[in-house]
Structure 1
Amino acid sequence: MPPRHQEEACFDTTELAAKVAQVHHAFAEYLDPHVPDCALPSAGPSDSVGQGSADATTAVGDRPRLEVLPQAESGSRYRCLFQLLSHPYRYARRKHGIATALEGDEFVIAAPRIKLLMRAFLEHLASDDRLAKSCRSLNFHVTLSDDSMLALVYEEPLDEVGWREAAEACRTALGLGTIVGRAKKQCIALPRTHVLERFPLQPGLDVYQQQEESIFSNPSAPMCLQTMQWLVEVARQFGGTDLNLLELYSGSGTYTPAMCSVFAHVLSVEIQRTLVEAARRNLELNHCESRATVHRAPVEFCRRLLRSREHEGRRYDAVLLDPPRDGLDDFTRSQLHNFEVVMLISCSPLRKLILDAEALHTTHRLARMVILDHFPGTRHLEAAVVFVRHRTIDAPVAVDD
């Protein structure tokens, strides 16, 4: 039998309780032996986060209880991509390279507003199908704050005048916030290429996010909100108000404004130019420019920053990392020992996050861990952890990629 950390990133089950049990088994030496209940809370998303803190404080010794933030599979997806089939018009989803038509309300994971828009769009095409010609795919995107966008991708060039006329008629009929058409070297937006999301982070504090049609955003808005709230909670619990935060793999700044509500200063680092531009826009939306800096940086800059933990006169003793599915590289992992607080989000808890725990256990204790059910009903699961330093050792030798 292979070691735990060599298991596949995907789980062998879609049942949340079974996936949680696998994670608990993999991290057994770091966690309280109690296996958590995976039942959905009766409270709303923003009311259920604090329960994790209570569970964590009732753990045995220094080992925290595993926390779980579940969500119902039905209505969980706020961003849905489909193909459009004709004769008659209907939606299809591609799986294993094959487009399979949906029947009626079969796509249960779509948010209620998306289901309404799906029906309304097909009804609109029955009387005016100009938008359907050469349409390859379409993406519905809605928000907690009731904004909405329909983005259509075409095989053939768009007649701009004709498309605008048809799109405006559709936008009015469906009550859409915006509609976007894309073809090769063409992008037409009526009136914009994004939706505006508002996350009620806590009473009296909302976080705004401009979610672009062409940039990834979390498809589960309720779970994204709960993740923000959990990160804010643990940041406060472990002294974030007195620390500066280094945020790596920050993307479009999903968590940066929320972290600005806790930490003295946030340095957000991302490599991709389009994501850096989006992150800066989101900082401006939340009036966080004085509390955070977004830096576009090559790999070597990130390495120097991890080694020194200093930039422009500030020292960073806390770090937040949200890496892609491949997880942390060996060099980054080797430099985390000298941070006081390490917050890490992982979409591969069995294969990658366990390596991080094993690498940090000599200097840090696992203080909090939560299961984030971003994709209910699938073989995937995400987790977030907080490691807090309990002793200092000589800095390990840096590991090259």
Structure 2
Amino acid sequence: MSNSALDPTPYAAQLAAKKARLQDLLAPFAAPEPAVFDSPAEHYRLRAEFRLWREDGGRHYAMFEGDKHTPVLIEQFPIASQRINALMPQLKAAWQGSEVLSHKLFQVEFLTTLKGDALITLCYHRPIDAAWQAEAEQLAAQLGVSLIGRSRGKRIVVGRDYVEEELTVAGRAFRYRQPEGAFTQPNGVVCEKMLNWAFDALGERDDDLLELYCGNGNFTLPLSTRVRRVLATEISKTSVNAALANIEDNGIGNIELVRLSAEELTQALNEVRPFRRLAGIDLKSYEFGSVFVDPPRAGMDPDTCELTRRFDNILYISCNPETLAANIAQLHDSHRIVRCALFDQFPWTHHMESGVLLQRR
């Protein structure tokens, strides 16, 4: 991406176009005008993944547009965090000077945080061994990062397999472990804005919150301070383990977390069948006044959407405005949109993150 592509004038036009698109999608539901939360124009992306391309006797960072045979060679990546941009040439110099590090290296992944933590994953088309680990340990110390080596059936961790982030919501700092390979919001500045919007939209309540698709507890932690209790669900083992660690690290005691999919929890609440993973949790003891959902791009399936209809308040964060609109269409006869927002997690693309608060009519 050229520096001219980061000119603020076209960025403002792109953001206005996204706002208009969201308004068009929500117009059938009489949605209020969305609050718009912009992004920094550069250095906003906290993760990046590059293939390596062999040319002129060396390996170079590369991305591909269209086919996999026409690479765009990259030296710097302006949309990525400053930490990633600082690490890119240092890492490249390291593999260029080491046959052990460079041999059959085909992909590099960076994971960083606003706090400045960094984890680099090196992927190989060959077995990695003790010799690789010895050089990786020296490199990790030199760069001040954690390193992970991956090859078929092998994973070697040098340091930690997660980064540590800190996000501030309503004046309180929350600490997060963000594991390698698990989903995290790529734009930390906008993520913090999303958390604060959701915190404000939910409001102070004296009942309980159900959260579906909780991930590593990104929203769970701050929202738990607004309600009496939270029951949160997530299906990914890696994310569940991270969420449990984050709950403990932040000293929060009113969250129960269960490893169930949204569909399975719907079955449990409808008493279709019992789940051993719910042993010791009395679902009937909860007084749910609100549900929070942050589903994948496909949105909520029809049964889960019907489940959310039970709640007076539905707080919905979406990474796909089309499936958001489809879910709202299913709920529109019982709930109305009282607040909505656009979060520009993905500048310079057509993608957008949005949020709505629906309340029972």
- The interval holding the TM-score normalised by the smaller chain is 0.7 to 0.9
**2:155 alignment partner, one of 175, 187, 200:** 187
Write the mapping of 1:268-287 to structure 2, written as runs, cut at 5 A.
Answer: 268-287=232-251
Name the counterpart of 2:196. 229
Structure 1 residues 378, 273: closer, same or farther in 2, change over 3 A? same
Between the aligned partners of 1:103 and 1:141, the Cα distance in structure 2 is 18
2:51–2:61 CA contact under 8 A, matched in 1: yes
1:338 aligns with 2:310: yes
2:266–2:307 CA contact under 8 A, matched in 1: no
Between the aligned partners of 2:58 and 2:251, the Cα distance in structure 1 is 48
Report Cα offsets for 1:282-341 as digits up to 9, x if no partner. 2112111x2100011253442332689x81511212001111111111112223333111
Write the mapping of 1:209-224 to structure 2, written as runs, cut at 5 A.
Answer: 209-224=176-191
Measured after TM superposition, the shift of residue 97 of structure 1 is 4.5
Measured after TM superposition, the shift of residue 365 of structure 1 is 2.1
Measured after TM superposition, the shift of residue 278 of structure 1 is 2.2
Consecutive unaligned residues in structure 1, runs of 5 or more = 1-13, 32-62, 391-401
| Amino acid in structure 1 at the alignment position of 2:255 | A
Write the mapping of 1:1-400 to structure 2, written as runs, cut at 5 A.
Answer: 15-31=14-30, 64-86=32-54, 87-98=57-68, 100-105=71-76, 107-160=77-130, 162-176=131-145, 178-203=146-171, 205-236=172-203, 240-288=204-252, 290-297=253-260, 299-305=263-269, 311-349=283-321, 351-390=322-361
Between the aligned partners of 2:306 and 2:79, the Cα distance in structure 1 is 39
Structure 1 residues 182, 126: closer, same or farther in 2, change over 3 A? closer
Between the aligned partners of 1:270 and 1:281, the Cα distance in structure 2 is 14
Between the aligned partners of 2:359 and 2:64, the Cα distance in structure 1 is 43
SS at match of 1:27: helix
SS at match of 2:32: coil
Measured after TM superposition, the shift of residue 186 of structure 1 is 1.4
Q: What TM-score, normalized by structure 1, do the two folds share?
A: 0.79
SS at match of 2:336: strand
Measured after TM superposition, the shift of residue 170 of structure 1 is 1.4
Matched residue count: 336
| Amino acid in structure 1 at the alignment position of 2:19 | V
Between the aligned partners of 1:285 and 1:23, the Cα distance in structure 2 is 37
Q: What TM-score, normalized by structure 2, do the two folds share?
A: 0.87
Structure 1 residues 272, 148: closer, same or farther in 2, change over 3 A? closer
Measured after TM superposition, the shift of residue 269 of structure 1 is 1.0
Report Cα offsets for 1:185-225 as digits up to 9, x if no partner. 2111111111111112232x111111111212111111211
Report Cα offsets for 1:139-185 as digits up to 9, x if no partner. 1111111111111111111122x112211221222222x11111122
SS at match of 1:328: coil
Between the aligned partners of 1:313 and 1:265, the Cα distance in structure 2 is 11
Between the aligned partners of 1:235 and 1:369, the Cα distance in structure 2 is 12
**Shift >4 Å, 4+ stretches:** none
1:124–1:173 CA contact under 8 A, matched in 2: no
| Amino acid in structure 2 at the alignment position of 1:262 | R
Name the counterpart of 1:396. none
| Amino acid in structure 1 at the alignment position of 2:267 | R
2:179–2:238 CA contact under 8 A, matched in 1: no
Between the aligned partners of 2:270 and 2:291, the Cα distance in structure 1 is 9
SS at match of 1:166: helix
Name the counterpart of 1:41. none
Measured after TM superposition, the shift of residue 354 of structure 1 is 1.4
1:151–1:179 CA contact under 8 A, matched in 2: yes
1:342–1:386 CA contact under 8 A, matched in 2: yes
SS at match of 2:309: helix
Measured after TM superposition, the shift of residue 361 of structure 1 is 2.7
Q: What is the alpha-carbon root mean square deviation over aligned residues?
A: 2.1
Between the aligned partners of 2:17 and 2:165, the Cα distance in structure 1 is 33
Between the aligned partners of 1:254 and 1:96, the Cα distance in structure 2 is 34
Between the aligned partners of 2:265 and 2:82, the Cα distance in structure 1 is 44
| Amino acid in structure 1 at the alignment position of 2:160 | R
Measured after TM superposition, the shift of residue 67 of structure 1 is 0.9
Report Cα offsets for 1:118-151 as digits up to 9, x if no partner. 0211223343343111112111111111111111
